[in-house]
Chain A
Amino acid sequence: MINKNSRLAEEFWQTGRLPCYIRDFHAHMDEHPEIYFPFSSAEDMVADMDKNNVRSLFFCGHFALDDPLYGEKYNVEAVRKFPDRLRAYHIIHSRCLDPDKEISEVDGSPDIYVGFKILGDYNKFPIDDKIHFPYYDYLNQTKKMLLLHTWGGSPYNGFEQVYTIAKNFPEIRIICGHSFFGSHREAAELLKGFENVYFELTAVPIVRGMLEETVKSAGSEKILFGTDLPWFSTVHGVGMVLGADITDDDRLNIFHRNGDRLVESVF
């Protein structure tokens, strides 16, 4: 039954499907050299969305993450195949920047992109470095989204770097992917004064208690659902939210209410 104290969990257990819809703010796509994925194509992802009641998915494909020259086109192709379900984050490669071109790509294709994604740990480059500010200026002016890979203790994308961005660019919708894994308590305290900062759940399922602590310190209104699909299954994250010691109201905030407010103008 997963959780006898939850109506949502009870309905899920009866049918195998969540009775409310989900918005997933953190996903990938296509193959990866280090991992075997049973599925990973755009078609597979959308089939998984249909099965698990996921209304919209925001992603940056592996090819874009790892190929600064040619990878972005695969993001575009995927969204064009499924324009009612998918939107992409354009990647920011800190060591291969072309802000005029890349901002133009995002600005010129609101039907493809919802913003940018940057991974400081992967680039080995602090995300609050000023070389990124043209991108952040643009996002700040347009109130678009910035998905961050955040990790506790990181000198590249820890909460100090995010604090700098949040303070200087208050209109960007900042999504902290992985919720500062390992330092989520400190991060939530530091960032809870910022209206524009959201926590995202990828990686949270592997540490029991982390979701409850984040809800307690930051509030369920500041948490977005995310999976890292196809790395981790949608329903694995769903099960964590259903089983955690929070209320069904918190769960609905996380599954879609918070996301609805962020993306009301996207689709």
Chain B
Amino acid sequence: MKILDCNLNFGATNNGQPYKNCDTFEELTAELDRCGIDGGLIRCTYSDTVGVNYGNNFAAEKIRESGNLNYYGVWAVLPPFTGETPGGAELFRSMKENRIGAVYINPATHRYVPSLLTLGRLFNDLSERKIPVILNTDRNVSMELIYKILAAFPDLTAIVGDSDCWPNARKLYPLAYSYKNVRLDLSYVMDAGGIEDMTSRFGAEKLLFGSAFPNRYTGSMLAVTRSADISEEEREMIFSGNLLKMLREAEFDD
């Protein structure tokens, strides 16, 4: 069974993270090999800590060099008004060329006001093209903002994660029930019976395996997903099938 992780990152930092950081792409791929994860969505944290283009390009370069077709990059995106990063059709062409499977926003770190004014055009395009957008509280996107974005763009193909370590069903379930293209990143779903409960309520097709490596242990969510009382078909969907379907449906070409 193929295993793809929707929440991986690498990049050296001097910011004093409490967890054991993953400084290099090579460390990341060694960990994936050790624990049997085939690939997934990979973000370079330099996009948040060094420079948006610096990190985006670094991720693209490493993924290209690896030659591994199970690795997909994740890019940070900015509002178009300063012209710092590719926009419009150029962005999507570049994503396709570089095997970038998804984008994310981090408005607090990148210091802009998330609103229809700043992100409306971009999110319209992403929504129409079904390109996955990662909305995760660990990147300073509050649950309140996630609710607002999805209310404005109800067809958005979104990967939603809430890094609050307390069980978070009351925040996440309304989104999974209400928006057909929302998938939940399981990286932080630690509660007993969580996967079984969600699968029985709104279906395994809404769930993506994630580990939040290196912030967290890869083994935890691997074990939870492996032992969940769900069918093998549902397990395969969570481990890789749903993510692959999202990536296939994304339309990068004009």
Binding site for B on A (CB under 8 A): 1-5, 9, 12-13, 16-17, 34-39, 44, 48, 51-52, 182, 203, 205-212, 227, 229-244
Contacts and interface: CB of A to CB of B under 8 A. Distances in A.
Interface residues of B, number: 35
Given A2-B36, A2-B222, A239-B220, A208 B191 contact: no
Nearest to B214: A208
B120 interface: no
7 contacts: A1-B35, A12-B226, A205-B190, A206-B215, A209-B20, A232-B191, A244-B217
B35 A38 contact: no
B191 A233 contact: yes
B223 interface: yes
Contact of B192 (A229, A241, A242): A229
A208 B226 contact: no
Interface in B165-192: 165-167, 169-170, 173, 190-192
A237 B192 contact: no
B224 interface: yes
Contacts of B217: 205, 208, 211, 239-240, 243-244
A2 B167 CA distance: 23
B192 A239 contact: no
B81 interface: no
B196 interface: yes
B45 interface: no
B17 to A, nearest CB: 9
A209 B21 CA distance: 9
A3 B216 contact: no
Contacts of A241: 219
B221 interface: yes
Nearest to A242: B219
A208 B220 CA distance: 10
B224 A236 contact: yes
A180 to B, nearest CB: 13
The 9 closest A-B pairs by CB, nearest first: A243-B219, A239-B223, A209-B20, A38-B193, A1-B36, A38-B197, A239-B219, A233-B192, A16-B227
A208 B19 contact: yes
A233 B34 CA distance: 23
Contacts of A5: 34
Contacts of B173: 36
A52 B223 CA distance: 11
A206 B165 contact: yes
A213 to B, nearest CB: 8
B166 A205 contact: no
A111 to B, nearest CB: 26
Contacts of B221: 236, 239
Nearest to A15: B227
A207 B215 CA distance: 6
Given A16-B227, A233-B192, 12 more contacts: A2-B222, A3-B34, A9-B219, A35-B170, A36-B169, A38-B193, A206-B165, A232-B192, A233-B193, A235-B224, A239-B223, A244-B217
Nearest to A1: B36
B105 to A, nearest CB: 24
A12 B220 CA distance: 12
